[in-house]
Amino acid sequence: MALINYCPTLFAASEWPDAMTGSNLEEDAVGNQILWLLAKVIELRFAPPGSIIPDDDRESLREIGTEVDKWWDDLPSTSRGLSSGEISEDGLSQLWFCVQSAAAGLLYFHLAKILLLEGYIQPQDPNSSEGRYEHESCVEQLHHHSRGIASICFSPGVRDGVLVVAVNPLYYAAKHAPSLSLKVRIWALLDKIEKELGFHTRTRVMELQRELESQISHNV
């Protein structure tokens, strides 16, 4: 609900259980840890206007980004999914997860990274090569994490419980998909989730379509 309404979570991340910061490497515990970190990212990204000084905002994003990267570095290889090695035309990998909660945890990781990158990215300065490089680097990373979310959701064997929690990650994956064909595939999957699982996705798809139409008209 926080992601849909672009606001912090109902309970501040500081009020979440201490278990979220533990060293338990079981898949459920690891998933809870990245969910807690995602809540911290949301809390910062969607803070009320004027509550955070811009410079402090970027520094806080970097600090939380370091925590998210550490979560990834500490993640057991068995929780990252087994890749078949086959890459689709859209750049997606086929992944297999022994435990489905590991797939959900990775969705939260990729979503956290996308939200952080959206916070980092600055308007491109045509007169600054350094600014252009930083902008292009952020865009490429956004594409990477978009493909990461899509790879999980389009992999065979991913169960309905994962697809339900994938709705918001899929929205951001479609938003930053590197190709129109991948955007359309994600829209179709969101539509399928609503039809087969009853989880409302139509509003999210309409938002994505309006955003794409706006981008096309702006470029024209």
- What confidence tens digit (pLDDT) does each residue in 8-62 have? 999 888 888 775 666 677 888 889 999 999 999 999 999 887 666 566 778 889 9
pLDDT above 60 (res 126):
no
149 backbone dihedrals φ, ψ, rounded to 5°: -65, -45
Residue 103: inside a domain, yes or no?
yes
The pLDDT of residue 207 is 92
Residue 153: inside a domain, yes or no?
yes
Residue 180: inside a domain, yes or no?
no
Domain of residue 11, residue span? 2-158
Whether 202 contacts 210, CB under 8 Å: no
The pLDDT of residue 208 is 92
Residue 173: inside a domain, yes or no?
no
How many domains does the chain contain in total?
Answer: 1
The tens digit of pLDDT for each residue in 136-159 reads 899 999 999 999 999 999 998 899
pTM of the complete model: 0.91
Residue 122: inside a domain, yes or no?
yes
Residue 212: inside a domain, yes or no?
no
